[in-house]
Amino acid sequence: MRILQVNKFHYARGGADKYYLSLGKALEQAGNEVAYFSMQHPKNEETPYAKYFVSRLSFNEGGFKDKLKSPGRMIYSLEAKRKFKKLVLEFKPDIIHIHNIYHQLSPSILDVAKKAGIPVVMHVHDYKLICPNYQLFAHGEICEACKPHKYYRCAQKKCFKNSRPKSVLAALEMYLHHSVLKIYERNVTAFITPSAFMKAKLVEWGWPVDKIKVIVNPFDAQMNVSLEEKILSLENYLLYFGRLSEEKGLKTLIEAAAITGSKLKFVGDGPQKIELDILAKKINAHLEFLGFKSGEELKQIILKARAVVIPSIWLENMPLSLLEALNLGKVVIASNIGGIPEIIKDGDNGLLFIPGNIKDLVRKINDLDVLDLDKIGREAKESVKNFNEPENLKQVISVYHELLK
């Protein structure tokens, strides 16, 4: 098959980008021809298709010129449409697989695919199809105020980066794409969600159930463990690894750790770091920030942790950190929210607690003293054994074949 993979970043900026790149490599190794379409960036991985990429546009660090270009790029990019058309005509893909195309690329490229009669698969990595700010989370709490299709409420509540102008633009974008042009509805042949929860949420907001397939994203193949590594002695700390931001519920974790006297280690970075550091010092929590880690270094930090904690207070889809920790045979204490309970069964292969509830999290941390952690760890690894890269590739290719019939 000839497959065109599309994503706004061509480097591992986040989980969705990492998956897009790894899936592309897996498709190539399976004997398929794969082309890529993305945005120009100095961190991009090398590809002969970079000549088709759209010009770089930064919404956060960009200057006045980028700010002037932003509305047009977000809503309907003529540059992306022109360059994408050229790539499609020259590469002649059998399938177009899009990931995150919002803002930097825009859905203008979907009209090209429709005109060419090429099936489009969309991987839904977040809630952007139904929520202007991607998260169904605003001002510290879960938010579905825009349901159904009342996107003006985003502007009212300043849900997008707490900015009225940005929220107005995000609401306008949603109205044009979903209420006026119906550009995703008309042009996407099938959707893939990484959790049944995400599928159910899309259906709840009016998306067609028969067009949505559930395929759980795979854990990183590097995050595997040998028998020798599994018997390493544990160190007495709880670990969180991921983005340091409000929706991750890290204040709850710091408060609970202070009560139990547990040592904490945070791997990652994000906008809430300073605030979390101030809180930890104020309540005498033992918190160490390790910064960004990856590969073998991150794996060793995970393996030595007493438990991994995922304290999210937003509707988590299917966090990669959850799958990686379970695959390493770690005990995971996680919020009972979003797609997490599809994997974690409380007391069996991990522990679940009420999101945002400090007392319940304290109870689960104290349970570590009395539970058979080795047994839970074995069950944890067993529970995700099928969420590997070969199985994921098999399921994705199955979707391709189904559409090509």
What is the tens place of the pLDDT at every residue in 262-317?
A: 999 999 999 999 999 999 999 999 999 999 998 899 999 999 999 999 999 999 99
Task: Say which CATH number the domain at 353 has.
Answer: 3.40.50.2000
In the chain, the number of structural domains is 2
Q: Are residues 331 and 315 in the same domain?
A: yes
Q: Are residues 304 and 394 in the same domain?
A: no
pLDDT at 232: 62
Answer yes or no: is 137 within a domain. no
- Between CA 137 and CA 221 the distance in angstroms is 31
Q: Are residues 246 and 213 in the same domain?
A: no
Answer yes or no: is 118 within a domain. yes
The pTM of the full predicted model, rounded to 2 decimals, is 0.93
Answer yes or no: is 91 within a domain. yes
Q: Is the pLDDT of residue 319 over 90?
A: yes
**What is the helix, strand, coil percentage profile of the chain, to 5?**
45, 15, 40
> Domain residues for 242?
227-383
Answer yes or no: is 249 within a domain. yes
Q: Are residues 248 and 365 in the same domain?
A: yes
Which residues have CB under 8 Å from 373's CB, separation 6+? 307, 331
Q: Are residues 285 and 392 in the same domain?
A: no
How many other C-beta atoms can be found within 10 angstroms of the C-beta atom of residue 346? 14
Q: Are residues 59 and 81 in the same domain?
A: yes
Q: Are residues 200 and 231 in the same domain?
A: no
What is the tens place of the pLDDT at every residue in 67-84?
A: 555 677 889 999 999 999
What is the tens place of the pLDDT at every residue in 156-179?
A: 999 999 999 999 999 999 999 999
Question: What Å distances lie between residue 121 and 99, 277, 296, 393, CA to CA?
Answer: 9, 42, 33, 14
Q: Are residues 256 and 371 in the same domain?
A: yes
Q: Are residues 296 and 397 in the same domain?
A: no
Q: Is the pLDDT of residue 228 over 70?
A: no
Q: Are residues 205 and 319 in the same domain?
A: no
Q: Are residues 338 and 394 in the same domain?
A: no
Q: Are residues 211 and 261 in the same domain?
A: no
